[in-house]
């Protein structure tokens, strides 16, 4: 099951609520803090994805051969090419 960003934020906000003693009336602050934490965790991933193509090995090889990069998804199944 894949978690959506909203699911991740809700889970983290709940954890913050518990850590702060389950105090009522701070939901908005806890939600914003959770959003900031999740965004900070995602920032390095976005930075890597936006990296120059020649810094990623598969893209570098493809660029050198002037062809699109091929991404594989695990081992080949028997009888399939």
Q: Domain tally for the chain? A: 1
Does any domain span residue 73? no
Does any domain span residue 81? no
Buried/exposed 26-35: b ≥16 CB within 10 Å, e otherwise: eeeebbebbb
pLDDT tens track, the chain, 81 positions: 567 889 999 999 999 999 999 989 999 999 999 999 999 888 776 666 666 555 566 666 666 666 655 555 555 556 655
This prediction has a pTM of 0.53
Does any domain span residue 54? yes
Domain interval for residue 50: 5-64
């Amino acid at each position: 099951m894949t978690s959506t960003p909203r699911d991740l934020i809700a889970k983290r906000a709940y954890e913050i609520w518990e850590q702060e003693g389950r105090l009522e009336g701070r939901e908005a602050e806890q939600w914003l803090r959770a959003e900031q934490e999740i965004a900070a965790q995602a920032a390095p991933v976005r930075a890597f994805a936006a990296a120059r193509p020649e810094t990623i090995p598969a893209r570098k090889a493809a660029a050198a051969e002037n062809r699109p990069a091929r991404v594989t998804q695990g081992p080949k199944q028997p009888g399939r090419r």
